[in-house]
Chains A and B, each alone.
Chain A
Amino acid sequence: MSRRLLLLLLPVSFLLVALFLYQRLQHDPAQRDSALMAREFPAFEATTLRDEQQTVDQSLLKGEVTLVNVWGEWCPACKQEMPQLLELADQGIRMVGVNYRDTREKGMSFLNQYGDPFEMNIFDPEGSLGFDLGVYGAPETFLVDAEGIIRYHHKGYISPQDVSERILPEVAKWR
């Protein structure tokens, strides 16, 4: 009898596997957290997009909760999320852009065309800041708290729904 019970463990354990796989169906395998979560914003020194003379560094991100958006003129999703970013800026959130792997000319015309929610844009033509941020495709958005610690990471397009359901609550949480 005990052998039968033991054998019954087979279908039961497979059912558990199936349940696990069912649970996996709800997951997006491409979704992963940034490796920089809860760590300090990486040190950098760069010029700004609008002014070749002005250099900024990581101290730019201290003192206030800031959304750092990595974008490029070549990235279609960046264009699509601009209205959402403008709305966030309207709500009084401090926005800093990282113009990633772009030219000044193209970056500037992008802002002229789609609007500019950013207090400042860090010019990152070689993608070195992007690399230190672990960015592997634009757009990506980081929430940095007043101490300059990365608290939230949004990979990819920010939809209007994301604004109300994810971004705003996160901002409120770290303010």
Chain B
Amino acid sequence: MLVKMIPELGHFALIIAVLMAAVQAVMPLAGATTRRPLWMAYGHPMAVGQFLFIALAYVCLTTSYLLDDFSVTNVANNSNSLLPWYYKMSAVWGNHEGSVLLWSFMLAGWGYAASRFSCGLPRDMVARVQGVMGLVSLGFLLFILLTSNPFERLLPNVPHDGADLNPLLQDIGLIVHPPMLYMGYVGFSVVFAFAIAALLGGRLDAAWTRWARPWSNIAWAFLTVGIALGSWWAYYELGWGGWWFWDPVENASLLPWLTGTALIHSLAVTEKRGSFKSWTVLLAIFTFSLSLLGTFLVRSGVLTSVHAFANDPSRGLFILVLLAVTVTLSLLVFALRAPRVSHQVSFSWLSRDALLLINNIVLVIMTVTILLGTLYPLILDSLNLGKISVGPPYFNALFVPLTVVMCIFMGLGPMARWKSMEARELKRKLWLAGAAALVLGVLLPFIYTGEWNLWASLGIVTALWIVLPMGRDLIDKTRHARSRLAGLRKLSLAYWGMVLGHMGIAVTIVGVAVVSNYASERTVRMAPGTTVEVAGYQFTMTELTSRRGANFLADTAVLEVQNIDSARGFLMRPEKRFYLATGMPMTQVALRPGLFRDLYVAMGEDLNDGSWAMRIQYKPFVRWLWLGGLLMALGGVLAIVDKRYRRVKVTNKASAATPSQSEPQEATL
């Protein structure tokens, strides 16, 4: 009996959660304004309760999937009794309704964490943070209940079996990618809440930046991993070997990442030097707003096809209203409460302040460019100026030079001092690294392939320009320690976080530069016995078989691959699958990953004479793309483990109001 009621239980839990969110949205904010501790005290229990009840709803939906309850529309549309249990669990977020529930679940989780770990902060600040989190959560829960209820029943005509999960989604990628991405999107809500709370309470001091920094770092790390995983998943799952297409949906995730990157740097300036306060708050608002805008663009059907929207116009409208209310209100609060004139902190051309300012300017230009490119076709269409497309050539043409400009200054950043420094000192620290980067960057492509390539060289010079000065800096910093190792240990985790983050960028740049310029591909006719050579590897088809999988038929080719130089061999098995339930053909790529090269084989068409068209690709350094992403994320996490963030207690207002000057010089990010 109880089992049959699980969907209703979940639905009921959602309704309770919505009520709690409403209380959380109103009471703490009202309490903070009227200085009533009792009202403010509602915040934490509501955050806890909301989290628990959404968790319950989430568990209920997952249970319905696991128990194959096809009377639930959502389960019937997206699952199947034959689906393995782990795909049933991930199928929950492989569709619109379930993914919004996951989103809300994470939002409540972040809300709970923000509430739990803020106990050392001033009470009114905590209350305001809780209130803002409550408001955002309320919006999303209402969105679920009013337009996207995952617990809707298909009664009385319950189907015998479900329509099955899209075969593309039956993959580890679906299990790991969306949760990471959502954690990133949603995580910026905490920073956003801190920003709004600081504006409302007039506490726009160095203290709030110190509270906000760990949250923005961790959200940024999640988003970085999410984007990297998405790129990796598309690379091996879609079968053409691309890893970034500048699709609106990809851009939607890149936008908050860019402003988020600007934010974590701007927070550093504000915390250390007390400058750019308003700007930092604005970035926090922008970052979360862009997360919401991305959600709107992806789910409203404005950019994809209208069929989605025609099915349910209320969804797009609801998110738009949510977006408009959140962003307009927060910008209004900003306009009214932003500090009148921030006290002028001085710095000169050669200073870390100036370099971080440049970083922010370039990142903002990148953000606007991508936003412009994504929305421009819509703008033209609305003005009746015709339909155009803006794709990879446009974005690459603008993004590459912007990245190079950014990296030039990025190499200087870690060396520079706050406030000002002598050009002489900077030159002394950098000339060797710069020269080495230039020489190596020009030479390496020669050594690698025997011919020179401008773009590959540019990428390598840029990457080395980021890495080598940091190496030099490490040597300088450990020079006076008892031993190098002891010196390295003495450096703060925040410093290491910065080093890793910047290394990550360099690694990704190397990956992009090499794979874009040295990848090779051949499409060939292959039958058993055929041998072809691609990029120093010999591919021999030894066998061509058919097999029957759990829910598909497959043609499988077996290729024996030999490295011509080392004569080491291995087997690769690309497949062409035909899924029985959906009638969808799928290319199952055979992949031989390696740190320095991937081999990538996809089966094309059956040429009906016993041979097949096969596409063989050689992708050097492609792993570095994602490896760089992981390094960046690791850097972000490392920076928050730094012990100074555990001293959250603010002893008195005076210490909070002045930027901390006593920090060790190297603890920067």
Residues in A lying within 8 Å of B, measured CB to CB: 3-4, 7-8, 10-11, 14-15, 18, 20-25, 27-33
Q: Is the CB of B338 within 8 A of A21?
A: no
Q: Is the CB of B387 within 8 A of A15?
A: no
Q: Is the CB of A27 within 8 A of B381?
A: yes
Return the CB mask of B301-344 against A: 1 if under 8 Å, else 0.
Answer: 11111110110010011001001100111011011101010000
Q: Is the CB of B382 within 8 A of A25?
A: no
Q: Bound state CA distance, A7 and B309, in angstroms?
A: 34
Q: Is the CB of B335 within 8 A of A29?
A: no
Question: How far, in Å, is A70 (CB) from chain B's closest CB?
Answer: 20
Contact of B331 among A4, A11, A25 (CB under 8 A): A11
Which B residue's beta carbon lies closest to that of A32? B387
Q: Is the CB of B328 within 8 A of A15?
A: yes
Q: Knowing that A11-B328, A25-B301 touch, tell me 12 more A-B residue pairs with CB under 8 angstroms.
A: A10-B331, A11-B332, A25-B309, A25-B316, A25-B320, A27-B302, A27-B378, A29-B302, A30-B305, A30-B306, A30-B307, A33-B387
Contact of B382 among A15, A23, A31, A33 (CB under 8 A): A23
Q: Bound state CA distance, A145 and B340, in angstroms?
A: 66
- B24 lies within 8 A of chain A by Cβ: no
Contact of B301 among A10, A11, A22, A29 (CB under 8 A): A29
- Given contact pairs A3-B340, A7-B335, A14-B328, A22 touches B320 in the complex (Cβ within 8 A): yes
Q: Bound state CA distance, A158 and B302, in angstroms?
A: 23
- Given contact pairs A7-B335, A10-B335, A32-B387, A21 touches B302 in the complex (Cβ within 8 A): yes
Residues of A within 8 A of B310 (CB): 28
Which A residue's beta carbon lies closest to that of B308? A29
Q: Is the CB of A29 within 8 A of B306?
A: yes
Can you list 11 A-B contacts with CB-CB less than 8 angstroms, sorted by A residue number? A7-B338, A11-B331, A11-B335, A14-B328, A15-B324, A20-B379, A22-B317, A25-B316, A29-B303, A29-B304, A31-B306
Contact of A24 among B302, B305, B323, B338 (CB under 8 A): B302
- Given contact pairs A7-B338, A10-B334, A30-B305, A25 touches B313 in the complex (Cβ within 8 A): yes
Which B residue's beta carbon lies closest to that of A11? B331
Q: Is the CB of B306 within 8 A of A21?
A: no
Residue of A4, A7, A22 with highest tally of chain B CB at under 10 A: A7
- B618 lies within 8 A of chain A by Cβ: no
Q: Is the CB of B317 within 8 A of A25?
A: yes
Which A residue's beta carbon lies closest to that of B335? A7
Residues of B within 8 A of A29 (CB): 301-306, 378
- B112 lies within 8 A of chain A by Cβ: no
Q: Bound state CA distance, A133 and B333, in angstroms?
A: 54
Q: Is the CB of A4 within 8 A of B302?
A: no
- B104 lies within 8 A of chain A by Cβ: no
Residues of A within 8 A of B381 (CB): 27
Which A residue's beta carbon lies closest to that of B378? A24
Residue of A27, A32, A33 with highest tally of chain B CB at under 10 A: A27
Q: Bound state CA distance, A41 and B569, in angstroms?
A: 58
Q: Is the CB of B331 within 8 A of A14?
A: yes
Contact of A18 among B302, B328, B378 (CB under 8 A): B328
Return the CB mask of B443-458 against A: 1 if under 8 Å, else 0.
Answer: 0000000000000000
- Given contact pairs A15-B324, A20-B382, A25 touches B300 in the complex (Cβ within 8 A): yes
Q: Is the CB of A4 within 8 A of B336?
A: yes
Question: How far, in Å, is A14 (CB) from chain B's closest CB?
Answer: 5
Q: Is the CB of B306 within 8 A of A18?
A: no
Which A residue's beta carbon lies closest to that of B317? A25
Q: Bound state CA distance, A10 and B327, in angstroms?
A: 10
Which A residue's beta carbon lies closest to that of B379? A20
Question: How far, in Å, is B287 (CB) from chain A's closest CB?
Answer: 14
Q: Bound state CA distance, A173 and B289, in angstroms?
A: 47
- B296 lies within 8 A of chain A by Cβ: yes
Residues of B within 8 A of A18 (CB): 320, 323-324, 327-328
Residues of A within 8 A of B382 (CB): 20, 23-24, 27
Question: How far, in Å, is A3 (CB) from chain B's closest CB?
Answer: 7
Residues of A within 8 A of B320 (CB): 18, 21-22, 25
Question: How far, in Å, is B288 (CB) from chain A's closest CB?
Answer: 13
Q: Bound state CA distance, A4 and B306, in angstroms?
A: 40
Question: How far, in Å, is B258 (CB) from chain A's closest CB?
Answer: 18
Residues of A within 8 A of B328 (CB): 11, 14-15, 18
